Structure 1
Amino acid sequence: MIQGKTIAFLVAPEGVEQIELTEPWRAVEQAGGTPRLVSIRPGRVQGFNHLDKADTFPVDLTVDDVSAAEFDGLVLPGGVANPDMLRTVPKAVQFAKSFFDAGKPVATVCHAPWTLIEADVVRGRTLTSWPSLQTDLRNAGAEWVDQEVMIDTAGPNTLVTSRKPDDLKAFCQAFLDAFGS
């Protein structure tokens, strides 16, 4: 599958939905890949179980110190605050966009497509997400569908999207398959 591949997980310092970080992270490790936590500043990121603080996780690298060339794919976990903060940080948005420019696979879950909307990379693509993003995605030129996983290959890269924590099993399998090809 993704044996020997390095996968970036882009997360803001606060507000990531913990299970949307930890389940895909574990899936990458179990498939023989190396997950790396990238954030907008060094230190630790705060996970949340919906609105309640959960665990913290150490940042491996910051967006100031990395490029898409160092990774084989990108995962954008959700939560509401996480992508809302990321989309306001130009270097984070550019980092996400650089995977599209390089033709590398990207996977997002829940509210994470907000970062992709800001990067202007969803036009002409078909995505799913948390339902409240459907108007934002349509306004950005994407087609929105309500299904547990959407795999879009219409652009320069494979884009795997999912709606919510209940979809994580299917999401993890889909992005591992996409990242492994």
Structure 2
Amino acid sequence: MSVAFLVAPEGFEQVELTEPWQAVERAGGLPKLISTKAGEVRGFDHLDRADAFHVDAGIDAVGSGDFDALVLPGGLANPDFLRTQPKAVEFVRRFFAEGKPVAAICHALWILVEADLVRGRQVTSWPSLRTDLENAGATWVDEAVVVCTAGTNTLITSRKPDDLPAFDKAIVAEFAEFVRVGKNR
């Protein structure tokens, strides 16, 4: 299974990239780092600059058809930047249109709000996004992880880095289920 991890050039919460990435790898998946431009991206540990990561492909060089699933790490600046990039918003929309699973944690749901993809969905997120999500038509709950199948695809959401064990377990299970039956629907 090929899994896209979409991040901005700077400002994503590093652990929300690295831990799900490792979970996908341990499960035999092939994670690929995608950003709005080729080169390197910079993670953050809350508000502090952290490590640099090599981008596998800029968003201009790939499409949703190149992947089986999408993970959207959070961080405060990351999704705020991505939601202003039409190509990033359209990239995310295509996964929903194609019925592919999408996982988003923390503030990453902002790009889903921008793309009008949470209407009628049950989600969780960093608590400060609750009003944004409810105003966009979602039902927000305060849980470690939410798996919502009430839409065109499976949407896995989580609140914060402390919830990563539950988030990682859910994405591995849901992505594996998609490979097992979802592709053949």
Q: Shorter-chain-normalised TM-score: which range?
A: over 0.9
| Partner Cα separation in structure 2 for residue 117 and residue 98 of structure 1 | 15
| TM alignment of 1:82-93, pairs within 5 A | 82-93=78-89
| Partner Cα separation in structure 1 for residue 174 and residue 152 of structure 2 | 13
The Cα of 1:99 is off from its aligned counterpart by: 0.2
TM-score (norm 1): 0.97
Q: Which of 70, 73, 79 is equivalent to 2:75? A: 79
Matched, 1:133 2:126: no
- Regions of 4+ moved over 4 Å: none
Give the residue type in structure 2 aligned to 1:167.
D
| Secondary structure at the counterpart of residue 8 of structure 2 | coil
Matched, 1:156 2:148: no
| Partner Cα separation in structure 2 for residue 71 and residue 86 of structure 1 | 19
Q: Which has the higher helix share?
A: 2
Give the residue type in structure 1 aligned to 2:128.
S
Matched, 1:108 2:104: yes
Structure 1 unpaired stretches of 5+: none
Matched, 1:20 2:16: yes
The Cα of 1:19 is off from its aligned counterpart by: 0.3
| Partner Cα separation in structure 2 for residue 62 and residue 122 of structure 1 | 26
What percent of counterpart residues are identical? 64
| Partner Cα separation in structure 1 for residue 100 and residue 139 of structure 2 | 21
Determine the structure 1 residue equivalent to 2:170: 174
Aligned-pair Cα RMSD in Å: 0.5
Determine the structure 2 residue equivalent to 1:62: 58
Matched, 1:51 2:44: no
| Partner Cα separation in structure 2 for residue 62 and residue 90 of structure 1 | 14
Matched, 1:146 2:146: no
| Partner Cα separation in structure 1 for residue 43 and residue 117 of structure 2 | 27
| Partner Cα separation in structure 1 for residue 109 and residue 131 of structure 2 | 12
| Partner Cα separation in structure 1 for residue 30 and residue 152 of structure 2 | 24
Q: Which of 144, 161, 168 is equivalent to 1:165? A: 161
The Cα of 1:63 is off from its aligned counterpart by: 1.2
Matched, 1:94 2:98: no
Q: Which of 120, 124, 130 is equivalent to 1:124? A: 120
User: How many residues end up aligned between the 2 structures?
Assistant: 177
Q: Which of 35, 38, 41 is equivalent to 2:34? A: 38
TM-score (norm 2): 0.95
Give the residue type in structure 1 aligned to 2:168.
C
| Partner Cα separation in structure 2 for residue 127 and residue 80 of structure 1 | 18
The Cα of 1:26 is off from its aligned counterpart by: 0.5
